[in-house]
A and B are shown apart, each in its own frame.
Chain A
Amino acid sequence: MTATLNTTLKWAVLLFFGVFALGPVLWMFMSAFKTTPEILTAPFSLPSEWRWQNIVRTWSEGGFSAYTTNTVIMTVPAVAISVALSTLGGYAFARFRFRGGSVAFFVLLYGLTVPFQALMIPLFYNFSRLGLINQYPGLIAALIAVHLPFGIFLMRSFFVNAQAEIADAARIDGCSEYGVFWHAMLPLAKPGILALTTIFFTDMWKAFLLPLILIQDDARRPLTLGLLFLRDAQGQQQYELLAAGVIIASLPTILLFLATNRYFQRGLVAGSSK
Chain B
Amino acid sequence: MSQVEIKDVRKRYGSAEVIHGVSVDVADGEFVVLVGPSGCGKSTLLRMIAGLEGISGGTISIGGRVVNKITPKDRNIAMVFQSYALYPQKTVAQNMGFSMKIDGRPKAEIDEAVREAAAILGLEPYLDRYPRQLSGGQRQRVAMGRAIVRDPEAFLFDEPLSNLDAKLRVQMRAEIKALHQRLGTTTIYVTHDQIEAMTMADRIVVLNGGRVEQVGPPLELYDNPRNRFVAGFLGSPSINFLDAMVDRRDGVPAARFDNGDVLPVPAWVPDGPLTVGIRPEHLSLSETDSGLRCEIATVEPTGAETLVFANHADQPVTFSLRGRLPHGPGDTLNLTPDPDKVLFFERDGGERILPAHSEAA
A residues sitting closer than 8 Å to B (CB atoms) are 163, 165-166, 168-175, 179, 183-184, 187-188, 190
Contacts and interface: CB of A to CB of B under 8 A. Distances in A.
Contacts of A171: 51-52, 71-73
From DSSP, what is the main secondary structure of chain A's interface residues?
helix
A179 B102 contact: yes
Most buried by B among A165, A175, A188, A190: A165
Contacts of A175: 73, 102
Given A166-B87, A184-B87, A188-B88, A173 B73 contact: yes
Contacts of A173: 73, 98-99, 102, 146, 150
Given A187-B87, A187-B89, A168 B79 contact: yes
A112 B282 CA distance: 68
Contact of B79 (A163, A169, A183): A169
Nearest to B143: A169
Q: Which 3 pairs, one residue from A and one from B, show the smallest C-beta to C-beta distance? A: A165-B85, A174-B73, A173-B99
24 contacts: A163-B83, A165-B81, A165-B82, A166-B86, A166-B87, A168-B47, A168-B50, A169-B79, A169-B81, A169-B146, A171-B51, A171-B71, A172-B73, A172-B77, A173-B73, A173-B98, A173-B146, A174-B102, A175-B102, A179-B102, A183-B87, A184-B87, A187-B88, A187-B89
Contacts of B289: none
Nearest to A165: B85
A168 B146 CA distance: 14
Nearest to B81: A165
Contacts of B81: 165, 168-169
Nearest to A179: B102
B103 interface: yes
A128 B161 CA distance: 64
A175 B85 CA distance: 15
Contact of A165 (B51, B72, B73, B83): B83
Contacts of B102: 173-175, 179, 183
Contacts of B79: 168-169, 172
B88 A168 contact: no
Contacts of A165: 81-83, 85
A191 B30 CA distance: 44
A174 B99 contact: yes
A262 to B, nearest CB: 16
B207 interface: no
Contacts of A169: 79, 81, 85-87, 146
A172 B78 contact: yes
Interface residues of B, number: 24
Contact of A172 (B50, B87, B89): B50
A178 to B, nearest CB: 12
Interface of B: 47, 50-52, 71-73, 77-79, 81-83, 85-89, 98-99, 102-103, 146, 150
B144 to A, nearest CB: 12
Most buried by A among B71, B72, B103, B146: B72
A168 B50 CA distance: 9
A170 to B, nearest CB: 8
A58 to B, nearest CB: 43
Given A163-B83, A165-B82, A165-B83, A172 B72 contact: yes
A201 B103 CA distance: 38
B270 to A, nearest CB: 50
A173 B150 CA distance: 8
A184 B47 CA distance: 19
Contacts of A187: 87-89
Contacts of B83: 163, 165
Contacts of B82: 165
Contacts of A166: 85-87
A174 B103 contact: yes
Contacts of B146: 169, 173
A190 to B, nearest CB: 8
A188 B102 CA distance: 19
B101 to A, nearest CB: 9
B125 to A, nearest CB: 23
Nearest to B74: A174
Contacts of B78: 172
B75 to A, nearest CB: 8
Given A172-B72, A173-B73, A163 B87 contact: no
Given A187-B89, A188-B88, A168 B52 contact: yes
Nearest to A187: B89
A190 B88 CA distance: 11
Contacts of B85: 163, 165-166, 168-169
A146 B89 CA distance: 32
A188 B99 CA distance: 19
A197 to B, nearest CB: 18
A235 B71 CA distance: 70
Contacts of B99: 172-174
A183 B95 CA distance: 11
Nearest to B80: A169
Contacts of B71: 171
A187 B90 CA distance: 10
A179 B146 CA distance: 18
Contacts of B51: 171-172
A54 to B, nearest CB: 46
A131 to B, nearest CB: 45
A183 B82 CA distance: 20
A168 B82 CA distance: 12
Nearest to A186: B89
A173 B72 CA distance: 8
Contacts of B86: 166, 169
Given A169-B87, A174-B99, A190-B89, 16 more contacts: A163-B85, A165-B81, A165-B85, A168-B50, A168-B79, A168-B85, A169-B79, A169-B85, A171-B52, A172-B51, A173-B73, A173-B150, A174-B73, A175-B73, A183-B98, A188-B88
